[in-house]
Amino acid sequence: MKVTTSSIVKLSIAAVLLIAGCEAEPLKPAVDEPAQQAESQETAGASQRPATISISEPPSVFERNLWDSEAFSSAAQSQLNVIANWVKDPAKVSGEQLSNLITPSFQSHQLRPERLSTVFEDHGLTVQRPEAIATDSAVVQNGAEGFLRALHQLTAPLTDASDVRCKLKIFGVDMEADQATTAVVVRLGGRTAIQAIQQTSEWECRWTIGTPQTPPRLKSISITKDEQTSFSGPSDRVFADCTESVLGGNESFHQQLVYGLGHWLHRLELYYGIIATSYHGLAVGDVNGDGLDDVYLCQPGGISGGLPNRLYLQQPDGTARDVSAEAGVDWLTETHSALFIDLDNDGDQDLVAATMAGVIMAENNGEGIFRPRQFKLIPDGPPISLAAADFDNDGDLDIYACCYARRATAEGMVRPVPYHDANNGSRNVLLRNDRDWRFSNVTQQVGLDKSNRRFSLACAWEDFDNDGDQDLYVANDFGRNNLYRNDDGIFTDVAAELGVEDMSAGMSVSWGDGNNDGWMDLYVSNMWSSAGNRIAFQRQFLEDSVTPETRGGFQRHARGNSLFTNLGAGDAPLFSDGSVSAGVTVGGWAWSSQFADINNDGWQDLIVANGYITQESTQDL
């Protein structure tokens, strides 16, 4: 049967209709159930509907007036925003506004430590930290005049800078009878004629409580952590944005890629299912064998009628040309991720794509022209991310697909239950390559259906125990992750045993040898949440309703990213959580992360992509 773009769309619609017409399944405690097999397009059938819960929620705890700390934090944040505005443009903030921020007896350390030690220096990039953090006995500024001097000292390196940015954010609060203390992360920076400057600090701020008529005022500011970074080079940036110079010669760039999701939400029919919280990746590979890497961009759009995926072919002059239509890969089905891999061992890069309906495998003819050869419907839930490896060492690449949530039904959308340790998500799938473009779902057969109801967002293969076969780590949203150890093609989840469950909002995973000891370490990106850090540590949070372990789970959920060092000890490798000491927890809403040697010094660095919705607004997370 010839599979074309139009036939794929028709099959996708048929699959959705089949899924929507199935029997509902009552909500029940999360247990391991027999795996539902991914089906080929010829044999796809009906599946059970996912368990759902009502979208209606009980009254918010905020409505029960239990959260004076959050009301205070909001008022204090407004005061801190005045400081941020002054840093960006002192002329726009009056002296009266600054005076209203502090008490007459205000005290402060210097807000930019001066005795610094250089901890890293390479090709114009310098990182410095204080030799010592000032103590309460080292107050150097007092009153309104002292506060203004401290602010001038903070911004002195930015006097002639352009593009000055500053943000202060409260991530911890402790309420007392007559005062409050907040933990504040401070980020500011700008560009001068000779360098780019950035300062990242943490402040401990003491405040008056304030009233509904009178905002809280600062009693003191102490620095608890500080790091100052500068870069001097031919440009004032470490990386140059070359997007338009590479892609600007294509109509698709100007008509499609330059617009953010907000633009398309107003233009694509809701009927087609465009998702505001969509996840769209890309694949890089040499599709036509010319020695230059090309890029495939996955695009949003629901089951059909969305934006076409784009394949850009790199040219010798460094630009890239849109060949999506002629290559046969401008599919309109929403695509979350893709891989360029050689599935048939003929020496060229084939294409695998995770779409709303299932997984598409397309054969490359060696010249960058693709023909869909296999289409695996996954009725339980749409695949989100993909990873390929030869798990059974038979000489061909197999595919693991993370499927996140089960498909929504007329009764409602699937919600994680419980929030901090959900196990009612979709089933992930391992597709074994049986050659000749035949793939078998062997998830249950090889042991990967254990703890396989998580809300999985990402996965990565790696031989973490150096025994010659590929193991698998799965990063799950709303709870604990999986580390499946591979023993001759049979998998066992050893995440708890080895200390890498990382019970949090797992978004991505990357393996790399961070300390160059020959054992692969693990970096998992989660969500660092200022609100979560404020709320989950309040005494009244879930007071008397959960165990201390459950409270700890919620607190851990907000900590941020995790770095696990592989100790590689004897016959039983273990991991050590070095996240805090390495300084790699705070990555915002870290959707993706990657080990990479950015500066070619032989050490693996970390790149973390964060944020939420692509748009012109700079206030996104």
Six token digits for residue 315: 């040219």
pLDDT in tens, 366-387: 999 999 999 998 888 899 999 9
Q: Coil, helix or strand for 99?
A: helix
pLDDT at 54: 39
pLDDT band at 264 (very low <50, low <70, confident <90, very high): confident
Neighbours of 401 (CB within 10 A): 30
d(CA 148, CA 155): 11
CB half-sphere exposure, 271, CA atoms < 13 A: 3
Helices (H) and strands (E) in the chain, counts: 12, 31
Give the count of beta carbons closer than 10 Å to the beta carbon of residue 94. Answer: 12
In a domain, 231, yes or no: no
Confidence of residue 135 (pLDDT cuts 50, 70, 90): low
Residue 147 lies in a domain: yes
CA 290 to chain centre: 33
User: Given this model, what pLDDT does residue 132 score?
Assistant: 83
Of 426, 440, 483, nearest in space to 33 by CA: 426
Name the band, by pLDDT with cuts 50, 70 and 90, for residue 546.
confident
Number of neighbours of residue 422 by Cβ within 10 angstroms? 21
Q: How many domains does the chain have?
A: 1
Cα end-to-end span (Å), the chain: 47
Question: Which is nearest to 30 in space by CA: 425, 483, 545, 443?
Answer: 425
- pTM for this prediction: 0.85
Q: Burial, 339: exposed, middle or buried (Cβ in 10 Å; 0-12, 13-18, 19+)?
A: buried
- The pLDDT value recorded for residue 540 is 78
Poorest-pLDDT segment among 395-399, 484-488, 615-619: 615-619
* pLDDT at res. 380: 86
Binned at pLDDT 50, 70 and 90, residue 558 comes out as confident
* Ranges of H-type helices in 410-547: 495-498, 530-535
Residue with more model confidence, 358 or 553: 358
The Cα-based distances of 471 to 155, 390, 459, 487 in angstroms read 49, 10, 11, 9
CATH number, domain of 87, equals 3.10.450.50
- Which tokens belong to 272? 């087609």
Query: Which amino acid, 250?
Result: N
Provide the CA 68 distance to its chain's centre, in angstroms.
31
**Which residue carries 């059909």 as its tokens?**
304
Closest listed residue to residue 430, CA positions, set 488, 481, 364, 359: 359
pLDDT at 233 over 90: no
Among 95-109, 160-174, 395-409, 535-549, which stretch is predicted with the lowest mean pLDDT?
Answer: 535-549
Look-up: residue for tokens 């996708």?
12
Q: Quick one: how far is CA 267 from the chain centroid?
A: 27
Lowest-confidence segment of 221-235, 370-384, 607-621 by average pLDDT? 607-621
Name 386's bridge partners. 401
Given this model, what pLDDT does residue 615 score? 67
Task: Please indicate, yes or no, if residue 258 is contained in any of the structural domains.
Answer: no
Residue type, 168: L
Domain assignment present for residue 533? The answer is no
SS3 379: coil
Provide the mean pLDDT of the chain: 85
How far does Cα 401 stand from its chain's mean position? 18
The predicted model gives 155-161 an average pLDDT of 90
In a domain, 2, yes or no: no
Q: Of 22-36, 445-459, 583-597, give the lowest mean pLDDT range.
A: 22-36
Average pLDDT over residues 560-588: 89
Does pLDDT of 19 surpass 60? no
* Closest to 150 in 3D by CA, of 207, 98, 116, 110: 110
- So what's the pLDDT on residue 76? 96
Residue 28 has pLDDT above 70, yes or no: no
Average pLDDT rounded to a whole number, residues 595-612: 93
Query: Nearest to residue 532, comparing CAs of 552, 506, 555?
Result: 555
pLDDT of residue 277 exceeding 90: no
The yes-or-no verdict on residue 337 having pLDDT over 70 is yes
**The pLDDT of residue 409:** 64
Assign 68 a pLDDT band (cuts: 50, 70, 90): confident
Statement: residue 140 has pLDDT above 50: yes
Mean pLDDT of 552-564: 89
Q: Which pLDDT band, with edges at 50, 70 and 90, does 139 fall under? A: low
Distance between CA atoms of residues 182 and 205, nearest Å: 5
Provide CB contacts within 8 A for 567, sequence distance 6+. 519, 573, 574, 575, 576
Asked if residue 106 is part of any domain, the answer here is yes
The alpha carbons of the chain give a radius of gyration, in whole angstroms, of 27
pLDDT value for 62: 37
Domain-located, residue 429: no
- pLDDT confidence of 604, banded at 50, 70, 90? very high
- Which residues are within 8 A (CB) of 51 and not within 5 positions of it... i.e. 6 or more apart? 25, 26, 27, 28, 406, 414, 424
Residue 451: pLDDT over 70: yes
| Pair of tokens at residue 114 | 């001066």
More confident of the two residues 511 and 54: 511
CA 257 to chain centroid: 21
Rounded Cα gap, residues 304 and 355, in angstroms: 10
DSSP E strand boundaries for 331-481:
335-341, 350-355, 358-364, 370-377, 385-389, 398-402, 429-433, 439-441, 455-462, 471-477
Question: Within a domain: residue 440?
Answer: no
Measured in degrees and rounded to the nearest 5, phi and psi for residue 582 equal -80, -10
Determine the pLDDT at residue 136. 52
Higher per-residue pLDDT: 78 or 31: 78
Residue-number span of the structural domain to which 137 is assigned: 66-111+133-226
pLDDT over threshold 50, residue 36? no
Highest-scoring range by mean pLDDT, 48-52, 301-305, 463-467, 544-548: 463-467
Query: In sequence order, what are the residues at sequence separation of 6 or more whose Cβ sits closer than 8 angstroms to the Cβ of residue 271?
Result: none
Q: Which position has the higher pLDDT, 414 or 566?
A: 566
What pLDDT band is residue 55 in, cutting at 50, 70 and 90?
A: very low
pLDDT above 70: residue 94 = yes
Q: Rounded mean pLDDT of 419-433?
A: 93
Q: At what angle do helices 68-88 and 143-155 cross, to 10 degrees?
A: 60
Fill in the DSSP letter of residue 367. Answer: S
